[in-house]
Chain A
């Protein structure tokens, strides 16, 4: 049974505690906290991703698009991966997360990383906290952009290096 959350009630002396009350207040709420709304995707694709877009775009609108239904509150969002770059002008890569279509951080996103060498790879990652998200279904899409050249994300294809980035979201309060 999918765990459900019910706002804890304030008990008063003399209140009758029924099995239904205990199941709702203790069992269901504890089960919900043990397994809060979570979604994740671990990349193991047939090819790496690359972009030359100088505006933020979805890295993968199908797979790096996570959906959870929250009870209202805070959500942790995390990503780790290996990036690289190429081109006559090597790129600086920027990443952000679009929540329900709106970029979380705006401006230049959550982080940027300057690609200094076309023969190097770079481990990048972030964990961010989205606070005060309303109750309901929410979609989280990982987005990126570059300022020049071509940016790449290893995706488990084995073409360059066979690593497996992970993108995840989890309601935490």
Chain B
């Protein structure tokens, strides 16, 4: 049986971009409070992994860590990262229907059609190498999922992206991280996951390479600008056996050392 560990990387994206620092704007949460993780909810997390290995140090049962980045001032991650695509497709379809009705009316007003067209959400652009703007299919939505009407309104920030996981936990071969694709809507695409060599007792640090997307307005368009950050956290691997959180008893087939 695999123990699946979730580590949430919660970021106040706007504050981090404004202060150009993740230091006071990033919080880490794992789901191992009962096992003794320290610093849950703070920016200094030590995730406890109770080691499960046979007496000869070979692994008895794997432990998998899954990282999920979350932005505080954004549409909730439970909607799925591609919510902006689906939601706007609904809006677009409705809008086209409305415009059809207006056009078939005898006395149509141009302003009525203009209003309908204005309700179609805009998309984000990114800047190409030559300075030209390239459209993405990410719609500009506010925090309750409506298309942004005014340039001055606050958009729902794109969640932080983890680009790589490095550090001594990786170089010591304690964790083996990789990026995986996932059909689960909350992850929607890529996420970082690592299996853990639970025979390597001790405290090991790792580093997350994180990209935050800032938004600037140029030529009347919303442009995404990536900014790069790095943040560390710790893993502590112990030889304590895993226990069932509900019964506080042992799991089956585990050796008690």
A and B associate in one complex = no
